[in-house]
Amino acid sequence: MFDRSSTIKKLGKELLLENLKRMLLIRNFEVRAEAAYLQGNVGGFFHSYIGQEAIQTAAIQALGPKQWYITSYRCHALALLLGATANELMAELYGRANGNALGRGGSMHFYTPRLMGGFGIVGGQIPIATGAAFALKYQKIPDQVAVCFMGDGAVAQGAFHESLNLAALWDLPCIYVIENNFWGMGTAVANAISVEKIAESKAVGYGIKGYTFNGMDFLECIHAFDLLYDEVLSTKKPVLAEFVTKRFKGHSVSDPGFYRSKDEVKEDMQRDPIIALRDVLIEEKMINLDEFKTLDKSLRQVAIDAMKHAEESPWPSVGTLEEDVFAP
């Protein structure tokens, strides 16, 4: 059972502050990157993770960086959490030669040695994650799992069903995470998915365990990923978990969000996961409001510096255009 105070105790001040810092880095990066987009420095599509930070931050804290991670096009946070720098990611958004993917991927395609992407097609990453889990089992690596993030919209794709069936059939060590932010672009989840409690409802059909968690609460998310990891390692079966969350921004930058009321978004923002964690830490006397503001400001500076770095970075030489279509 989730026990708030024991989770606080288990993590301790240093790690709690570190995770607050990570969430603030994500938030500030997203805010500045979106500003850069609106200034015309970033092109293509841009999907913000603002509002959902608690989930992936908790995942990395609980599971560590040595798992295989895979996510959708909403991939900025996961890359930051897995060690990509704000500078290299911003340079990628600016399309520069020293960007995270050499200026070839852009906003939807970030990578680290353990982040297999940023996938642009809804649900396209789910079989890939299943394959990473297959590789772990094939290579008899006992304590690692694959962690597959997807939105609620991906649940309607065939790739979801085929992957879950294969993973359950072959006992693959995979944690499938549905980040239910209630909107597949502008379509409400109720208009796209035939059941509520998505993970719990779907898991039954594959003979695996399904869970629902509050994705706005960092501490509950920590508890969730601890539990999911133990479940996969002890049962050798995959698990399916839904994290109920809200994105505060549109589906992408170009989405004005006319399908939901301003009041609704305002209300959601009252449940900001960063403010929630901040308040816990204030209550625990681990940080005060001024220190929080200073921390926030320092991370805003990291994001601003990243913009400057990106702007000063070189464009890819057109002479390199046709390089690396094939691996050596």
Rule CB under 8 A: which residues touch other proteins?
68, 70, 99-105, 109, 111, 113, 116-117, 119-121, 124, 126-132, 134-136, 138-139, 146, 158-159, 162-163, 165-166, 169, 324-328
3-state secondary structure of 49: coil
Q: Rounded CA gap, 91 and 106, in Å?
A: 9
3-state secondary structure of 69: strand
Query: How many other CB atoms sit within 10 Å of the CB of residue 46?
Result: 24
Please report, as a single letter, which amino acid is at residue 140. Answer: K
At its nearest, how many Å lie between other proteins and the CB of residue 104?
6
Complex with other proteins: residue 132 or 224, whichever CB lies closer: 132
Complex with other proteins: residue 58 or 166, whichever CB lies closer: 166
129-132, long-range: CB within 8 Å, 24+ apart, which pairs?
129/68, 129/70, 129/163, 129/174, 129/176, 130/163, 130/166, 130/167, 130/172, 130/174, 132/68, 132/70, 132/174
Complex with other proteins: residue 264 or 324, whichever CB lies closer: 324
Complex with other proteins: residue 87 or 181, whichever CB lies closer: 87
At its nearest, how many Å lie between other proteins and the CB of residue 276?
34
- Residue pair 192/179 in contact (Cβ under 8 Å)? The answer is no
At its nearest, how many Å lie between other proteins and the CB of residue 275?
35
Q: Rounded CA gap, 127 and 97, in Å?
A: 30
Q: Rounded CA gap, 175 and 125, in Å?
A: 13
Complex with other proteins: residue 131 or 210, whichever CB lies closer: 131
At its nearest, how many Å lie between other proteins and the CB of residue 18?
26
At its nearest, how many Å lie between other proteins and the CB of residue 54?
27
- Residue pair 73/107 in contact (Cβ under 8 Å)? The answer is yes
Please report, as a single letter, which amino acid is at residue 255. Answer: D
At its nearest, how many Å lie between other proteins and the CB of residue 315?
15
Complex with other proteins: residue 36 or 167, whichever CB lies closer: 167
Q: Rounded CA gap, 71 and 118, in Å?
A: 5
Complex with other proteins: residue 131 or 151, whichever CB lies closer: 131
β-pair type (187-188, 183-184): antiparallel
- Residue pair 75/110 in contact (Cβ under 8 Å)? The answer is yes
At its nearest, how many Å lie between other proteins and the CB of residue 114?
10
Query: How many other CB atoms sit within 10 Å of the CB of residue 210?
Result: 20
| Residues 6+ positions from 3 with CB-CB distance below 8 Å | 223
At its nearest, how many Å lie between other proteins and the CB of residue 294?
35
Query: How many other CB atoms sit within 10 Å of the CB of residue 13?
Result: 13
Tokens of 161: 């069903």
Complex with other proteins: residue 120 or 186, whichever CB lies closer: 120
